[in-house]
A and B are shown apart, each in its own frame.
Chain A
Amino acid sequence: MEPLNAFVTFANFVLIPATAYGSQLAIGALGVTLIYGILRFSNFAHGDTMAFGTMAVILCTWGLQSVGISFGPLPTALLALPVGIAVTALLLIVTDKTVYRFYRAKKAPPVTFVIASLGVMFVMNGLVRFIIGVDDQRFADGERFVISVRTFREMTGLDEGLAIRTSQAITVVVAVIVVAALFWFLNKTRTGKSMRAFSDNEDLALLSGINPERVVFITWLIVAGLATVAGTLYGLDKSFKPFTYFQLLLPIFAAAIVGGLGNPLGAIAGGFLIAFAEVTITYPLKKVLGYLLPESLEPDGLVQLLSTDYKFAVSFCILLIVLLFRPTGLFAGKSV
């Protein structure tokens, strides 16, 4: 039973949380990579877009809860998601029309867009703080666990328990649905194909009669959806705090770059790579090794490679290694 116990411990503390976190990062990185592919700049406002979307979802959730609507065992936030996406989409479209379109028409260099996105980041951050404040908000309701530690122990008779939180299960299910829908859209529909054409070669796409403003419009709609979903899932899983969302920018960018900027498949792979590396390296492996090694070899310390405070350092180091050895990312992204 020892190896099984070790595996269950590992799954409980590393595999499951990392899978959920990886899904959240992957959806976030998909948004960054789509903007990069179509609009050709790194959007620094993405973290705050996620915060804004989540805030819209939270406000709507509170509204639903106050009139007594709930989603049974599932969090009410899922019902509020479409509203959140719509509000965020509206904000992004307005931002595009007032800020980015001007520079697009001027064919400004990418760095001008990046600086403009800094301004947008400030404004969105201010809006979120203005509307909901800077405090932690918890908005998860419904059933807390799919399987709790005790049920699992009773089911299997193992010493170690395994818990799957509802938020984790939902994250993975929603991520699969979102990713499948996105890839179906990009690969099968006419609009999706025109987006990919536009991303691959703008001039050729224009030549074949693709309307660039429409492509950009659709991109922002999809980005609003991705950002809101990613933000809400993260918020359900942990909690909502505007500053944390700003900090998510680093792992999300790392995921997008590691996978190859502009490459949706790479963004997903990058998200999971970063998440698994972060969680594994910052988790104390003492218990797992204790089950696997003979007693004489059992480690004294926690066998924690890095303290959790340095989880940013992990994504950053992976990013540096990839930049040094494969600057286009693991899956070929756009030009260096």
Chain B
Amino acid sequence: MIGDLKTRDLLLFAFVALLFVGTGIVQSWNVSLTILNMGLISAIMALGVNMQWGYAGLFNVGIMGFVALGGLGAVLVSMPPTGQAWADGGLRVLLGLVLGAATVVAAVLAWSRVTRFRGPVVVAILVIGFFIFRAVFDGGVAAVEAVDPASTGYLGGLGLPIILSWPVGGLLAAGAAWLIGKTALGLRSDYLAIATLGIAEIVIAILKHEDWMARGVKNVIGLPRPVPYEIDLQNSEAFVARMTAWGFDPVTASGITVKLGYTGLFVVVLAILLWLAQAALASPWGRMMRAIRDNEVAAEAMGKDVTRRHLQVFVLGSAVVGIAGAMMTTLDGQLTPGTYQPLRFTFLVWVMVIVGGSGNNWGAVLGGFLVWWLWVQVEPIGAALMQGITAGMPDGMWLKAHLLEAAAHMRLLTMGLILLLVLRFSPRGLIPER
């Protein structure tokens, strides 16, 4: 699959690699690896969005929601179950959810089967179902959330290894994407955009306020890790002896070892996904997707079911984003619903895809690394710039204080300008589609 790249593309990748090496030398290798790990995750997110946008022209602005669902997957899989909560109200919560789902299914069935008084019947089913759902569900939630609210107060997870949560996060995101796609695909493209924007906000609202599920804004912290803890390494005599023999400070080395462990895992996932994405793009399926994107009417005339194919690729792309979301929560070691911001998780990924080159998987990956590096580094660069600008101003001047303080907000401005400039002068991105 490397064979798809031209010399120019390899040079671009070499340039980005140089940025990371430069960060390692100028700042520290710990910083460089931190950015690299998040860059790998960003690259996977960009890959998922590129499947939707680059292959099929679907405009998804709900990436944040799918990332968060992936994160939820990490909690549900890896945290130990809270036995007391399950005993007190867990089954009641589940029963409530089942009843809620049954209500919706019954309403949908009634809509397609009942012939007389269809509207009133469906409304009646929904209203009665809603009250039954609330009656069962609310009591269960109260019982669960009352169990030691300071440390648990939620149902907990399955207590399985956290790596299993990556595919589970993908499945959760895929399920949500299927629901959205069923309703909004096949309408005009703007509607899909608004629908995804809405679902992302709702996913975050649910994560923030359904404490029984993942503790809401109280956050789930201390997720199990797939790699060893720094402190264990520092306490391991073999590790300290080897690092000292190699001439490294054991404390710094333990941090770097852990980060390299994550890097290794993420590289494997990225490589697999990239290989799959490239294979799909080169297959008859990939050609069909691009044919649909370029001319829906002609593709439909050739007997392709456009809405179905759109749904397919929308679900696949969202699943990839969900995997990345689960990986991110694994890397953070905690799920903090309050930190999900659309500018950071939805629109920044769009900048990555557009800058890297929509329609080209390698481009999306490159964009993921490059834009993430910029996003992190713009802040110190902006601060330094402001120091330079304000150096001539007298101390205590209001403008100086304001400019120094505002340097933190340079990021959004820079990202917006980059997006606009690339879109204007190089709309096909750094590595264009071929």
Chain A interface (Cβ < 8 Å from any Cβ of B): 41-42, 44, 99, 102, 110-112, 114-116, 118-127, 129-131, 133-134, 246-247, 249-250, 253-254, 257, 261, 305, 307, 309-310, 312-313, 315-316, 319-320, 323-324, 327, 335-336
Contact = CB atoms under 8 A, between A and B. Distances in A.
Contact of B198 (A126, A127, A134, A254): A254
Interface residues of B, number: 44
B270 to A, nearest CB: 25
B198 A336 contact: no
Question: Considering the complex of A and B, which 5 residue pairs feature the smallest CB-CB distances, nearest first?
Answer: A122-B416, A126-B413, A126-B412, A123-B416, A119-B419
Main SS of chain B's interface residues?
helix
A203 to B, nearest CB: 20
Given A119-B423, A123-B417, A309-B209, A249 B197 contact: yes
Contacts of B188: 335-336
A119 B416 contact: yes
A305 B350 CA distance: 36
Given A42-B190, A110-B189, A312-B198, A133 B347 contact: no
Contacts of A44: 61, 193
8 contacts: A41-B190, A110-B190, A115-B350, A121-B416, A126-B415, A126-B416, A130-B409, A309-B205
B406 interface: yes
A316 to B, nearest CB: 4
B205 A122 contact: no
A114 B406 contact: no
Interface string B125-142: 000001000000000000
Nearest to B210: A309
A140 B423 CA distance: 40
Contacts of A327: 187, 191
B189 A307 contact: no
Contact of A120 (B59, B187, B416): B416
Contacts, number: 128
B359 to A, nearest CB: 14
Nearest to B135: A301
B202 A316 contact: yes
Interface in B181-212: 183-184, 187-191, 193-195, 197-199, 201-202, 205, 208-209
B72 interface: no
Contact of B194 (A41, A131, A319): A319
B304 interface: no
Contacts of B202: 310, 312-313, 316
A323 B412 contact: no
A111 B419 CA distance: 14
B184 A126 contact: no
